[in-house]
């Protein structure tokens, strides 16, 4: 058994990232050895646009898809 073997990646759901998914709304997964995942809180699509995030401080922020990006821009302006 190889101890260095990375943890197998398991997607949250089998819905493609560019499709809405209720179960993924606002989900942020940031675990060691796993890809950083962030989904739109409005629809559950992949969040391409991050707001109020700071990777140095470990703040994952909030991520919106292209369709709901304007909502994030509103939040970003408040901070
Ligand atoms: Zn969205």
CA of 17 to the centre of ligand 1 (A): 11
39 DSSP assignment: B
For residues 70 and 58, give the distance between their C-alpha atoms in angstroms, rounded to a whole number. 24
Q: What confidence score (pLDDT) does residue 63 get?
A: 96
Domain that holds residue 64: 22-78
| Residue 15: inside a domain | no
CA of 25 to the centre of ligand 1 (A): 8
As a residue count, the chain comes to 79
Task: Give the chain's domain count.
Answer: 1
Q: What confidence score (pLDDT) does residue 6 get?
A: 74
pTM (predicted TM-score): 0.82
CA of 74 to the centre of ligand 1 (A): 14
Other CB atoms within a 10 A radius of the CB of residue 24 amount to 24
CA of 45 to the centre of ligand 1 (A): 6
Per run of 10 residues, the mean pLDDT along the chain (length 79 residues) is: 74 94 95 91 97 88 96 75
């Amino acid at each position: 058994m190889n101890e260095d073997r990375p943890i197998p990646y398991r997607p949250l759901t089998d819905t493609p990232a560019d499709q809405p998914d209720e179960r993924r709304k606002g989900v942020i997964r940031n675990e060691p050895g796993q890809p950083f995942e962030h989904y739109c809180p409005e629809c559950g699509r992949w969040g391409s646009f991050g707001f109020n995030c700071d990777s140095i401080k470990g703040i994952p922020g909030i991520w919106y898809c292209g369709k709901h990006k304007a909502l994030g821009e509103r939040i970003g302006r408040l901070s």
